Structure 1
């Protein structure tokens, strides 16, 4: 049976830290599906369609990675795509506290799903999407933190 992991997140934007989790996840799983979830409580900074395209381009030469977007519970999406694993990255204990609760709820919704946590590589731990958004919002070049070129991407704001 193929070992499929869903790597869910808002990925606004998708960072080198996210890329690192995907690439390391490929050492554990046959396929990693990057799932860009629509969060009703958050307004996106970077357009979903453009971010999807940038992530697809970043993994163009990695056939075991695909990108989807969804507007549903993550556990339901995992079931629909045949993923028995949810892949998550942890930068610190605050991330763990947050992710632990979510993993319990996902297990309640889809009892056959297991959440697998990977600790972020130390040199990437300071990078977060919110920091990158703030830097970008105020005109700073953020391409060093991303696995693609962002310079031409327009924000929705």
Structure 2
């Protein structure tokens, strides 16, 4: 039976922690859709098209990974794609309460949808997109926090490093 999972997020920008989850989830599922949220509630630093492009560049060596964007309910997006599993990353206890609420909300909208949680590797546990955005705003170095292709992309397009 073919298993399709979705790893949703804003990926603003893509981090080494995200890539850790993507690599590991892509080994578990036949197809992993990395779903980039348009996000009406957040004001991203990077436009949707750039976030998608960074993900495509970073995952080009992952044959089972597809990058798509969405601006609908995640439960509906999953159903449209034939996915029955959501993959979420948990860095700390502080992530758990939010993720638990979202998991229950998605299950109430689509009872066939399961959410699994993966912890990032220890070296990536502290990395978040918001930390990286803050570092970028202060013109700090992010090369150790994001995939090399993302660092190059940001350097070329943003001149903020």
Structure 2 unmatched runs, 5+? none
Q: Which runs of 5+ in 1 are unaligned?
A: none
Say if 1:70 and 1:77, in contact at 8 Å, map to a contact too. Answer: yes
Within 5 Å, which residues of 2 pair with 1:106-125?
A: 106-125=106-125
| Structure 1 residue 154, shift from structure 2 partner | 2.9
Written as runs of structure 1 = structure 2, the 5 A alignment for 1:118-157 is 118-147=118-147, 148=149, 149=152, 150-154=154-158
Compute the TM-score of the two structures, normalised by the length of structure 1. Answer: 0.94
Aligned to 2:67: 67
Find the aligned partners of 2:157 and 2:17 in 1 and give their Cα distance: 20
Aligned length: 155
> Residue 143 of structure 1: CA displacement?
2.3
Aligned CA-pair RMSD: 1.2
Moved over 2 A (4+): none
Q: What is the CA-CA distance between 1:138 and the residue it aligns to?
A: 0.9
Partner of 2:13: 13
After superposition, the C-alpha distances for 1:72-101 in whole angstroms (9 at most, x for unaligned) are: 111111111111100000000111111000
1:40 maps to which residue?
40
TM-score scaled by structure 2?
0.92
**Per-residue deviation at 1:27?**
2.3
Distance, in Å, in 2 between the alignment partners of 1:143 and 1:48 is 21
Answer whether contact 1:46 1:154 (CA < 8 A) is retained.
no
CA distance in 1, matches of 2:2, 2:136: 39
Answer whether contact 1:88 1:118 (CA < 8 A) is retained.
Answer: yes
